Amino acid sequence: MSLSHADTFECPYCMTRNDIEIDLENDVGQEQIVDCQICCSPIEVSIDDNGFELSITVKRDDE
């Protein structure tokens, strides 16, 4: 069984899709700052598991 999950999210600055690799043991329930793969702006990413699926919430670092 793989402990990582590939997913995407939309950058709140430039609206382009970004790839993210989620470590199911360490990233779920955590907040982290990642840079957009296109515009390099800092994005706050929160990953949660509701028991059925992973939820990725993103917001601008300046919000």
pLDDT for res 24: 86
User: What pLDDT, in 10s, does the model give residues 14-53?
Assistant: 999 999 999 988 898 999 999 999 999 999 999 999 888 8
Distance CA 46, CA 10 (A): 13
How many independent structural domains does the chain possess?
1
- Residues 25/46, Cβ–Cβ less than 8 Å: no
Give the residue from 30, 25, 8 showing the smallest Cα distance to 17.
8
pLDDT for res 9: 96
Give the residue from 23, 29, 27, 26 showing the smallest Cα distance to 2.
23
| pLDDT band per the 50, 70, 90 thresholds, residue 62 | confident
pLDDT for res 2: 62
Q: pTM of the predicted model, to two decimals?
A: 0.82
Q: What residue numbers bound the domain in which 42 lies?
A: 4-60
